[in-house]
Structure 1
Amino acid sequence: MLSRSINVPRLDLSLPSWHFPSFRGSKIQNGFLPLKDLSLAKAPFEGTTWFMSSINDTFEAGEAEYLRFPSYQSEGRLLCLAGISTRNGTLNSYALVHPDKLPPGSRFLPGITFVSESHYGYHNICHGLFAVMPFAAWHYRKGCVKPARWVLYQRGELRKETSNWVTNFLELTFGEKMTVEKFQGAGEVNYKSSCFEEAVVFRHHEGKMLKEKKIQVYEMLRCKSRKYCKIEERNGTDENLVRMTLLLRNGSRSFKDEAGVINVFQKVCAKVKGCQLKVSQSENLTFCDQVKLMSETDVLASPHGAQLTNLFFMDKNSSVMEFFPKGWKDLAGAGQFMFQWISAYSGMRHVGTWHDPKGDKFEETKGENEEKRQVYVVYMGAAPSDSKDFLRESHLQLLGSVLRRGEKAENTLVRNYKHGFSGFAARLSEAEASALRRKPGVVSVFVDPVYKPHTTRSWDFLRQSLVIDSTPNSDSVPSAATADTIIGLLDTGIWPESQSFSDNGFGPVPSRWKGICMEGSDFNSSNCNKKLIGARYYATDEAPFTPTALSNANSVRDEQGHGTHTASTAAGNSITGASYYGLASGTAKGGSTGSRIAMYRVCSSFGCPGSQILAGFDDAVADGVDLLSVSLGASAYYRPDFSEDPIAIGAFHAVAKGITVVCSAGNDGPTASSVVNAAPWILTVAATTIDRFFESDILLGGNRSAIKGKAINFSSLDKSPNYPIIDGGSAKSNSSDVTSASHCEPGTLDGSKVKGKIVVCMHSQSDSTKTIKLQGLQDLGAFGTVFANDMENYVASSYNNFPVSEIIVQAANDVFTYINSTKNPVATILPTITVTNFKPAPVVAYFSSRGPSGQTRNLLKPDIAAPGVNILASWIPTSTGVPKGQKPSSFNLVSGTSMACPHVAGAVATIKAWNPTWSPFAIRSAIMTTATQVNSDKAPLTTASGSAATPYDIGSGEVVPTAALQPGLVYDLTTRDLLLFLCNYGYNSSKISLISNNTNGFSCPSNSSTELISNLNYPSIAVSGMKQNEIRTVNRVVTNVGSQYETVYTATVNSPAGLDVKVVPNKLKFSKSYKSLGFQVVFTMKNSSSQGDLFGSITWSDGTHTVRSPFVVATAN
């Protein structure tokens, strides 16, 4: 639990909405709380400024904390501000009020208001940038919502203007001039309060905002700034130039002898081929002058000062040289690192800080505060096979070489990796990390990222009948075929007491297993058994500065349920009578019930640090798992290089040891290019629906037909339509507009019109969440809610005991027609029932991330699709959402590509058990080439919107586990194939020799190019950049794993109009099993009108086996 740093009293609902009880003895004026309370400060200068307790901050993964009003936390209240003192923050105050009960004499301001609380001012461009950054990020991820006005506070004191730089910067960021709320006409004492229809408040600048998020925002701001100033991108004619700018400034931080300094740089530049020196005075430049100057700069040299803020306008990978006059480094305090941070977040190289070239030398500051440290991962490629015992000492020696004299490497080391690969995690400064990047033997050094989990009948739907029992009439006994297969999971932990993990009927643990069962908080060695054979966690006391330190992660016990759910989906025992409070009742079982389970807890409630993910991979390789199921990943908007992606790194080395790695594709769909975990050595899984539906119907008065809706609720309403029903727009408050009210946005409804009624609310993706809307409706006394979604998503959300049903807009029109044509319209919402054999199924889940891959369009991702919507599997006991009169359920219905991933992992385990010598790539090929592309109606698979599903949605199609056991042919890969991929991806031979210890003198071909990635022997084909009349030839090799006798396969091509596709040869004759034959696919673009992405397939068949490969050809336009 987080501790409350400030104790905000519970709002007393019996009092007027704008009145508050006493607050720690603070004097409250007219029911308002002071923004600045000196009684909570150590010194009068500090004060304490807040709007609510930090416990009520809104957290979004990796983003800065913020407050939003109205919201669930504010109980639907608006933010009101009073007082306009620019000198005394204790005279400024705030209140939270119901929208229909504003304080007397207050004024209501519509639209979104941005409220900034900064420790620093808004005239300094560096401080202004830090204040604007979180607003820019929020604006960016909320669909570019623009503020109607700004309210600026500095330590609780009102500010009415910003510098010209900040004003221009805000205009280009938000697309319109900044309007600062000045509270005109009010005095410092006899003020009138202002209440805002919606307010977004940032109080901590970029607090808790991850580096990758900052990088995204700086990239956006750089692009917008150049567009705003009409600056053209650099052309190729000056690529050999080194453009250096010496940026001067006035004041005490200026160079002591500017003429001498200029002379120094002129001499240095003259020695460098292509170097051009430009000298500029920062005070003489307009905003756009500064943007233009930086866009023309490769190396920036300047004294320490605000003018260095402009460095992020430079091209990425440019360099910054910062100089301090004597004494200023000590005076700057933490500010001495400000431009190192901006450099790191904007993709620049901060190459050091020095004394004035022509002035007095200063001594480097010593001590703990010299530079902020954070956890970095140092990746050093493959682990030497014969020196694992010496790797830790080697890592400590390398780490010690960049630390300050006398500092022990052991004190900064977080953990080291030595089994599957070599490397370590350590707490480092950016300067120390930069020094390590230059060390021989180091592949990459990167800030420890925090990833997140990508949160029965599904196996029956997949026609999974693979269990081969010693007792044919019972599938409760583990399958002999899969009993020795070990599935490892990197996840949130496991609930060992679940029946899904009982070891009844299991034989001894496989002798090759080398893992352990780590004891921890509420988890001891006896919690493991012959089913759950391994359990590890990664103690936070090793890394107290990681996000997981805020959660009790010193145990494998699952606190979130996610790991328990995925483990039971992959390999849970067969359990009869399973249900979620009576819904989805039947038998729950995993895909490979006989497999053993090893859980590696790498996640807590705050996410999954990359350093722990890598530790999980490293241990799993040493422990002896057969495959890994990884239902987590990065955001679609963070695309690290493979050598800086913990999952890509860990998976590469696991696969090199023969371990298949199955990963979720991500939940950022239906946006194009949102797929993650897209390395070619990973089996990437998208999500689809199954033929089970959770129906919650709406009954209208007048004997009308029931309107079918979906949701999971345990409604206690009468089954007869006895409850008044109203649409949100008709229940709007006097201060809100019809559109916002019709969407039931917080603070827009009149409680007197809502109380005791069922409210129909429109809903779209850009709205507040349904949870927040529902909280507001419940607070106002609504009896139930009908959400009218703007698109079908086939996901039944859980609303527990509150009556809710979801319908699409077309069905909502019938409800609105009834309401508008009836004097006293009534309705009821029926409790949820389970509907099976629902058609069509499967359908691509709307949230499932889509291709093409953002890393290369010459590799098709995702690979395969599997059930991931409302999947029933084991869960942790929790009191949340328990229907009245019932005990917590041992099962839960959860959706996400997280749920699709273990479905495929279960299939992989079975294939591995039947074919123990197959490589991970042969297993992947078997799954992909035998997939289906049709639904239960024998029609092509579709997306939730009804459009035809493409390989960008489903890869090769929906997994068919039984067919994958006998694929006929497989597309296999070797280590050399992967090394060639890395060459074509852009890695050089020296880097590749570190990544793999099986290079055997390998070097990259001179003709390496991204176009040749298409030749990777993958079960699917992707070709990009095709032009009219262009011909591309792609090579493939297949291996016969079917008939041991002579057999002939014939190719069939399904190609789109305008694209000619030939297979050469179109017949392959195999004389024996495991013989390999090659063929070519020749693509010719015939029609210039064929633009965009063109989809088709190539299928090999011998009359018994069907081996299908999808392809996509992306045109140059």
Structure 2
Amino acid sequence: MGLLFKHVFLLSVFYIGFVLGQRSTYIVHMDKSYMPKAFANHNHWYSFMIDSLTSTATIDKPFRRSSTPAARLVYTYDNAFHGFSAMLSEEEAKALEKAPGFLSAYRDRSVTLDTTHTFEFLSLNPDWGLWPASDYGNDVIIGVIDTGVWPESRSFHDDGMGEVPTRWKGICEEGQEFNSSMCNKKLIGVRYFNEGVKAGNPNTTLTMNSGRDTQGHGTHTSSTAAGNYVEGASFFGYASGTSRGMAPRARVAMYKVLWDEGRYASDVLAGMDQAVADGVDVISISMGFDGVPLYQDPIAIASFGAIEKGVLVSSSAGNEYRIGSLHNGIPWVLTVAAGSIDRFFAGTLTLGNGVTITGWTMFPAPALIDDLVLIYNKNISSCDSTNALSNIGRGIVICENGSVRNQIFYVSQSNANAAVFISDDVNVFEDSEFSYPGVVISPRDAAVLMEYVEKTKVPLGSITFQKTFVGTKPAPVVASYTSRGPSPSYPYVLKPDIMTPGSLVLASWIPNSPIASIGTNIELIGDFAPLSGTSMACPHAAGIAALLRGAHPEWSPAAIRSALMTTANHLDNTNGYIKDSFFNYDVASPLAMGAGHVDPNKALDPGLIYDATPQDYVNLLCSMNFTKNQIMTITRSSYSCSDPSPDLNYPSFIAFYGNGTAGVLVRTFQRTVTNVGDGKSSYKVRVEAPDGSKVSVSPTTFAFGEKYEKQKYSVTVEYRGSINGTVTFGSITWVEDNGNHTVRSPIVVSPMIPVW
């Protein structure tokens, strides 16, 4: 068998020696069932394939041997999916298509990163609810796929932690400035994967060849998910208090796959593959791949293998803000959008007449701005150039009608001591960069300031800094940067799923990378940093999912996702609909926030869940316009397409109409709910139909006789609105007769978007 395989395969690649070109890394997916018995394991099989390519080229025309490095394996994969990555020429990759068991291959690609008080904002507390029910996530293992970790951070000390679970199979891999003793009972594993980045940059020396974090991103995300308690945390006096992650007693395993020298899919795949093999319970991955179909998306492929093993994957929605820009729109993962926190970082402007105005600032020092003249010149009030401000003297200059970030830079080049920036730009409140003494006040509050300046001969002002207010309203608000659905990779499942805090999240940072600056030449370091992005939202969801896994170890990843979605809150802390900061504070669409803002304590007891098995996802894939090999690239060879179905049992609904198409859209969905409440219960449906639509549900009532009983229902959406490109939305809510549970699912009616 082995000799026959070699003969056939060598013939298929015989011509390569004539046309060897520049090699690059390819990711190759294989059907492992085709492995000849002559090979002891898949590693030998894959190595034989690559050796055959190289030897054939050499034998054929040795005098024409290319100076390009020989074909070689980069990684082999056998847990989250089957296959390998290798340095190949285009011709060699094409030749592999004739190899027995070949499914698909594509070039390695670059991945996009999605860059204290949140536990209180989410109502997590030690007396009742999800924290005590899960024992704070004790012994649940969160695998973080990221830039590495700073093990000395106080968030990773192991005070109060018990022994490492015996089921853990991971290691603490040594490397540059990193030894195995740096792991402990909190940070139980660290591995690093850089064969992809080295293959893509063969002459590059890695700046930190170990699991140590050089960018800060991985330290921040992992401490957000599961950091231990750290007293006295703050950002230069802002947000001071005791820091902790969502699951403070969960274990952290870091898989470093992103490097200063590059971010490669092959390394990401290797990290996820190893995390599954090591025995993590939850994966947090704050990155994504844009513009690729599911069967070429490394996160989609590896996460399918993860959910087969019962591992929930939490992923970020992306930071591209536009409708249809969302990545990680993968039906079997949890896709997380970002929102604001009810916290305001402030400075106080006190006028000479005693009137005070509270404004936004994150200037990182207690600057002395006391009784200085307020300077306002309408001709230069935009503060938009160094030239315009060249004649400004000492005092507090007033700037308006411009970009605050640009104005900060130009004012810092002038003789002014400080500035007041008049702006309602929502991006200001999502950015911690504030390198010059000043405050941002709203145009509404500016009326008081301008009246004082105009009527006073020598107007004076003072500014104090480093103030933090919590409980601000309205909150949460959908972040301006968060990517909106529908997902181009698969729009027929509504994404994102939920929203969690993502703006100015305070978490651990690395001590050798600046987190703030004063002026243009003073950089500041610290142990904690406030960052914004769906990267920060994703680990919140991962930590909460770990808590749910601890409280309900019998729940599948789909059940956990369902509990998070159906209990999410679509109202803010004023009891009004959550608003979208990017769209002028209009009511937020589920395309921006999914089912709503996460409510961890309600998710502990959701009443009903929408469950799904790996076979259900296979049935979904089989209904798509994918080839057999494309489907097997994701599923491997464990499943058949005997029952294809486009109707996944998902806790949300999305229907599309075509722009310019006449007629009525009619879409019917089938769903199955499982009673996870205790004993008997009964529910009635409540429908809020999207504008222009009629929504029918059958049946309209449920009566459950016991726990884990399942019942089915159907939903028909008839859209009769105008075909004008608008998105409308509503909901279906199952309300328990005794009022103990409300199980809500969003509905979206949307114009169709292009599919990747």
* TM > 0.5: yes
The structural deviation recorded for 1:554 is 1.2
Alignment of 1:856-875 (within 5 A): 856-875=490-509
Q: What's the secondary structure of 2:657's corresponding residue?
A: strand
Change (3 A) 1:380 1:1054: same
Distance in 1 (alpha carbons) for counterparts of 2:721 and 2:320: 34
Alignment of 1:881-892 (within 5 A): 888-892=525-529
Q: Which amino acid aligns with 1:394?
A: W
Residue of structure 2 aligned with 1:792, choices 423, 426, 434? 426
Residue of structure 1 aligned with 2:299, choices 633, 639, 647? 647
The structural deviation recorded for 1:907 is 0.9
Residue of structure 2 aligned with 1:684, choices 331, 335, 339? 335
Alignment match, 2:571: 934
1:383–1:421 contact (8 Å) kept in structure 2: no
1:975–1:998 contact (8 Å) kept in structure 2: no
Change (3 A) 1:1079 1:385: farther
1:988–1:1004 contact (8 Å) kept in structure 2: no
Distance in 2 (alpha carbons) for counterparts of 1:919 and 1:594: 21
Q: What's the secondary structure of 2:703's corresponding residue?
A: strand
Q: Which amino acid aligns with 2:25?
A: V
Distance in 2 (alpha carbons) for counterparts of 1:459 and 1:483: 17
Distance in 2 (alpha carbons) for counterparts of 1:823 and 1:1004: 82
Distance in 2 (alpha carbons) for counterparts of 1:726 and 1:550: 53
The structural deviation recorded for 1:911 is 0.8
1:849 equivalent in alignment to 2:489: no
Alignment match, 1:421: 81
The structural deviation recorded for 1:373 is 2.6
Change (3 A) 1:844 1:800: closer
Q: Which amino acid aligns with 1:860?
A: L
Alignment match, 1:744: 384
1:665 equivalent in alignment to 2:317: yes
Q: What's the secondary structure of 1:446's corresponding residue?
A: strand
Change (3 A) 1:606 1:790: farther
1:1022 equivalent in alignment to 2:654: yes
Change (3 A) 1:1018 1:547: farther
Distance in 2 (alpha carbons) for counterparts of 1:985 and 1:668: 26
The structural deviation recorded for 1:593 is 1.2
Alignment match, 1:1110: 746
Alignment match, 1:335: none
Deviates more, 1:556-565 or 1:721-730: 721-730
Distance in 2 (alpha carbons) for counterparts of 1:1086 and 1:688: 32
1:687–1:867 contact (8 Å) kept in structure 2: yes
Alignment match, 1:432: 92
Alignment match, 2:597: 958
1:857–1:1023 contact (8 Å) kept in structure 2: no
Distance in 2 (alpha carbons) for counterparts of 1:796 and 1:574: 25
2:300–2:634 contact (8 Å) kept in structure 1: no
Alignment of 1:375-386 (within 5 A): 375-380=25-30
Residue of structure 1 aligned with 2:125, choices 465, 476, 479? 465
1:1075 equivalent in alignment to 2:709: yes
Change (3 A) 1:698 1:852: farther
Q: Which amino acid aligns with 1:968?
A: G
Q: What's the secondary structure of 1:708's corresponding residue?
A: strand
Change (3 A) 1:881 1:499: closer
The structural deviation recorded for 1:1097 is 0.6
Change (3 A) 1:402 1:708: farther
Change (3 A) 1:716 1:625: closer
Distance in 2 (alpha carbons) for counterparts of 1:727 and 1:437: 70
Alignment of 1:1024-1043 (within 5 A): 1024-1025=656-657, 1028-1043=663-678
Alignment match, 2:544: 907
Change (3 A) 1:536 1:1115: closer
Change (3 A) 1:959 1:479: closer
Q: Which amino acid aligns with 1:744?
A: D
Residue of structure 2 aligned with 1:441, choices 98, 101, 106? 101
Deviates more, 1:677-686 or 1:532-541: 532-541
Q: What's the secondary structure of 1:978's corresponding residue?
A: helix
Change (3 A) 1:827 1:419: same
Report the RMSD for the aligned CA atoms in angstroms. Answer: 3.5
Q: Which amino acid aligns with 1:1112?
A: V
Deviation digits for residues 364-386 of structure 1 (CA, Å, limit 9, x no counterpart): 877xxx63332222233679999
Change (3 A) 1:951 1:549: farther
1:981 equivalent in alignment to 2:620: yes
Change (3 A) 1:478 1:924: closer
The structural deviation recorded for 1:877 is 1.7
1:569–1:873 contact (8 Å) kept in structure 2: yes
The structural deviation recorded for 1:948 is 0.6
Alignment match, 1:114: none
Alignment match, 1:165: none
Alignment match, 1:395: 46
1:583 equivalent in alignment to 2:238: yes
The structural deviation recorded for 1:932 is 0.7
Distance in 2 (alpha carbons) for counterparts of 1:881 and 1:1030: 51
Say how many residue pairs are matched: 720
Which protein has the larger Cα radius of gyration, Structure 1 or Structure 2? 1
Alignment match, 1:502: 157
Q: Which amino acid aligns with 2:563?
A: A
Q: What's the secondary structure of 2:507's corresponding residue?
A: strand
Alignment match, 1:142: none
Alignment match, 2:62: none
Deviation digits for residues 53-92 of structure 1 (CA, Å, limit 9, x no counterpart): xxxxxxxxxxxxxxxxxxxxxxxxxxxxxxxxxxxxxxxx
Alignment match, 1:251: none
Deviates more, 1:990-999 or 1:872-881: 990-999
Deviation digits for residues 621-647 of structure 1 (CA, Å, limit 9, x no counterpart): 11000010111223xxx3111122222
Change (3 A) 1:456 1:520: same
Alignment match, 2:223: 568
Change (3 A) 1:1000 1:619: closer
The structural deviation recorded for 1:966 is 0.8
Alignment of 1:774-853 (within 5 A): 774-789=408-423, 791-793=425-427, 795=429, 797-799=431-433, 802-809=436-443, 811=445, 827-853=461-487
Alignment match, 1:59: none
Q: Which amino acid aligns with 1:946?
A: Y
The structural deviation recorded for 1:515 is 0.5
The structural deviation recorded for 1:888 is 4.8
Alignment of 1:121-132 (within 5 A): none
1:521 equivalent in alignment to 2:168: no
Distance in 1 (alpha carbons) for counterparts of 2:539 and 2:516: 26
1:381–1:421 contact (8 Å) kept in structure 2: no
Distance in 2 (alpha carbons) for counterparts of 1:1059 and 1:1100: 19
Distance in 1 (alpha carbons) for counterparts of 2:375 and 2:262: 41
Q: What's the secondary structure of 1:598's corresponding residue?
A: strand
Deviation digits for residues 573-626 of structure 1 (CA, Å, limit 9, x no counterpart): 123332222221222111111111100011123553211110110100110000
Distance in 2 (alpha carbons) for counterparts of 1:724 and 1:829: 11
Q: Which has the higher contact order (CA 8 A, sep 6+)?
A: 2
Q: Which amino acid aligns with 1:986?
A: N
1:593 equivalent in alignment to 2:233: no
1:414–1:543 contact (8 Å) kept in structure 2: no
Distance in 2 (alpha carbons) for counterparts of 1:505 and 1:628: 23
Q: Which amino acid aligns with 1:866?
A: T
Distance in 2 (alpha carbons) for counterparts of 1:379 and 1:773: 52
Q: Runs of 5+ in structure 2 lacking a partner?
A: 1-14, 59-64
Alignment of 1:250-649 (within 5 A): 371-380=21-30, 390-403=41-54, 405-406=57-58, 412-437=72-97, 439-465=99-125, 480=135, 482-539=137-194, 543-546=198-201, 549=204, 551-634=206-289, 638-649=290-301
Distance in 1 (alpha carbons) for counterparts of 2:172 and 2:33: 25
1:415–1:542 contact (8 Å) kept in structure 2: no
Q: What's the secondary structure of 2:695's corresponding residue?
A: strand
Distance in 2 (alpha carbons) for counterparts of 1:715 and 1:1064: 61
Change (3 A) 1:509 1:468: farther
TM-score scaled by length of structure 2: 0.87
1:658–1:920 contact (8 Å) kept in structure 2: yes
